[in-house]
A and B are shown apart, each in its own frame.
Chain A
Amino acid sequence: MTLLFLPAAILIFSVFAIPIIRYTWLSFHASSVLTRLEDIPNNGANWFRIFGDDRFWQDAYQTIRFTSISVTLEIFIAILIALLLDQKINNRGLVRALTLLPWALPTTIMALGWRWIFNTPYGPIEKIYSILGLGSLNILSNPDTAWLATIIADVWKTTPFIALILLAGLQTIPNELYEAFILEGGGKLNAFQQITLPMLQPYLIISLLFRTAQAFGVFDLIQVMTGGGPASSTESLGFYAYLNALRFLDFGYSATIILLTFIILIIFTLLVWLLTSRVNKLLKSEIL
């Protein structure tokens, strides 16, 4: 019986454990252009450096900000979209396929698109703003607004993905439940609160965890849309790791960034999970 698990175990080990072991090992070595890419043990110098690296912590803050805001928005909008797609509307198949389009687009292409949408002065948003006589917005040149623009682009792209998962969830809820609820004199809003949400809950948690992990590693969107600027205000941890590895050829430090990011992600995901189960308990106790 245990033999049956072996292929899966080997697969998981090779794609998951090996990189982590390798990165851990690398993070205790100097391996950069200065060492001619040879790995030389450096007694944890990378780890001492990272705790004093204000840029790492600024990026950590920005990554958490990006992840929490975009994922929250995505979940709320996705619930609305899923409810809409669940209705019996004409050409439902076509509408569903169209909704998925943003998610199917390669990130690089859509990020380039958004870069032009937010472009000053030729982008449509700036054009409308200036036609209204309000001057110019300079969204991507302002550290206070550029990160919001990256969130908008991310929400636009990944909401359909969550909507799809939630739609699948909605379809598992038997209609009889609603019929019975209405018969008992319940309202539509109450039905949403007391049937839809609790029944959707496993799907919500899955999409939440999935998207959190994904958004945490954001790189391509940032790279294309802002290059991390202005004033590094949109830089993510993934971007910083990339800079160190491919631009600076400092693989030891890059591995350290990736590992610490991984640890922060685990803690963050645990927190999200704890929070959702707490909310969940509250919801259940209310219903009962």
Chain B
Amino acid sequence: MKLSNLKNTIFILFIIFVFSSIVLAETKSPVNINFLMPAPFVDSTLDLVSRFNDEEKGKIHLKITKGPLETEAVSDLAISSLLLGKSPFDALLIDVTWLPKYAAAGWLETLDDRIKSNEWDSLAEGARLGNKYMGRIYRWPLVADMGLLYWRTDLMDAPPKTELELLNISQNLKEQGIVPYGYVWQGRQYEGLSCVFLEIINGFGGEWLSNSMKVNLTSKESLEATRWLKELITSGASPKAVMNFSETEALQAFKSGDAALMRNWPYAWKELQKEESNVKGKIGVTTMISKENHQPSATLGSWGFSILKSSTKKIAAFKAIEFLTSEEAQKEMFINNGYTPTKSEIFKDAELLASSELLPVLETALSISKPRPQTPLYAQISDVLQKQLSSILTEDKPIDEAMKLAEEKTIKIISSAGNKS
């Protein structure tokens, strides 16, 4: 009696063991991956991420870590996690300017083997820029982003095309008292000022840094471009306040109807269409001005995914990246958030073209976009330039002296790299 009881118990336990192992094997916990993104992107990819998790149920689970709102704060967080050794993230959504730095530090996994050549070719020309370092792909773009010129259709018949037109239109509208401000842009001492400068120097036929890393800040074109930026303020075409404007302040002035023209990124379009906007339905978008007989240019500011070298789940991470950057996903993000697509096919989508006047402008802007100097030392180089540009605008230093200083310091930074590499 007792023996058979024991036998039964053992048998039941055995059955339970077998079943539970089968069940456990079936519901084997999925591969958990973790991406870090700046806050605005987390909100706009919420649907996509949950759809991915539904599709990959039981296989992959993508968790998104919501980073800070401000671009550089996201980088600080990512870098801190990388410096501490084992980063909790498998992939990061990174800004175009961080890539060379991160790649040179040895944090990123090359994507050369994962990206097929036809996939690479599917990218719009401008969207291909800023994903490589030393000839290898380290980033797959999620959205393209470039500087645009916003104008008020109720105040002018056509947007300015040249630097003189922009100056005249802004000055006239302001002097006639039609708007308090003419042209608003980003003149605060921060990365935005470098973006503004790059567009203008290129549009004036100059160059910040050549491909062979020659610094051209004291060239005739560069000095002309700088003089023009300063003239915007001294002539009253732009308010003095732009010297402390970032994107937010510029957008606020334009949105409230206080300015006739604005330089900003594509995200501003959606903001200006909102109900609380005073200029809803009264705005047009175009590319930045340039000097007569010169090509206009747009600073490239795209975001893309990079897989970290330290990740142990690279295959799953890449699968998630493919999903989030698929054509479908890009269409959706364009419609919902106004994000610039990266695949050239989308710019030809008849349905989208019919419903959006923005898309062709984005395509043109992307085709003339230029990345900022691609070097691991970009942050230093840009910082030097920002400081000197800010001293010029605030009349702390004369143009020639400040640009000469900027050039000398930039050369010094670049040559320090030459000595060590």
Contacts and interface: CB of A to CB of B under 8 A. Distances in A.
A60 interface: no
Interface stretch (B152-160, B294-302, B327-335, B379-387): B379-387
Given A30-B420, A243-B383, A229 B239 contact: no
Contact of B241 (A136, A228, A246, A250): A136
Contacts of B304: none
A249 B98 CA distance: 11
Nearest to B241: A120
Contacts of B105: 33, 36-37, 249
A36 B240 CA distance: 42
Interface string A213-232: 00000000000001111111
Given A231-B189, A243-B383, A247-B379, A136 B240 contact: yes
A246 B75 contact: yes
B322 interface: no
Interface residues of B, number: 42
A256 B396 CA distance: 28
Given A136-B240, A231-B390, A121 B258 contact: yes
A230 B393 contact: yes
Interface residues of A, number: 31
Contact of B101 (A229, A231, A233, A249): A249
A230 B383 contact: no
A232 B390 contact: yes
A254 B393 CA distance: 29
A146 B190 CA distance: 15
> B190, B243, B383, B417 — which one has the most chain A CB atoms within 10 A of its CB?
B243
A30 B417 CA distance: 12
A120 B390 contact: no
A232 B239 contact: no
A229 B189 contact: yes
> B180, B244, B420 — which one has the most chain A CB atoms within 10 A of its CB?
B244
A249 B79 contact: yes
B188 interface: yes
Interface string B218-250: 000000000000000000000111111000010
A249 B104 CA distance: 11
A64 B129 CA distance: 44
A97 B76 CA distance: 35
B379 A231 contact: no
A49 to B, nearest CB: 9
Interface string A75-95: 000000000000000000000
A138 B104 contact: no
Contacts of A248: 377, 379-380, 383
A251 to B, nearest CB: 9
B421 interface: yes
Nearest to B249: A119
Interface string B388-421: 0011011011000000000000000000110011
18 contacts: A30-B420, A33-B105, A36-B104, A36-B106, A37-B83, A119-B249, A120-B241, A140-B244, A227-B189, A229-B190, A230-B189, A231-B189, A231-B396, A231-B397, A243-B383, A247-B72, A247-B75, A247-B383
Top 8 A-B residue pairs of the complex, sorted by shortest distance between their CB atoms: A229-B189, A141-B243, A120-B241, A231-B391, A140-B244, A141-B244, A231-B396, A231-B390
Interface of A: 30, 33-37, 119-122, 136, 138, 140-143, 146, 226-233, 243, 246-250
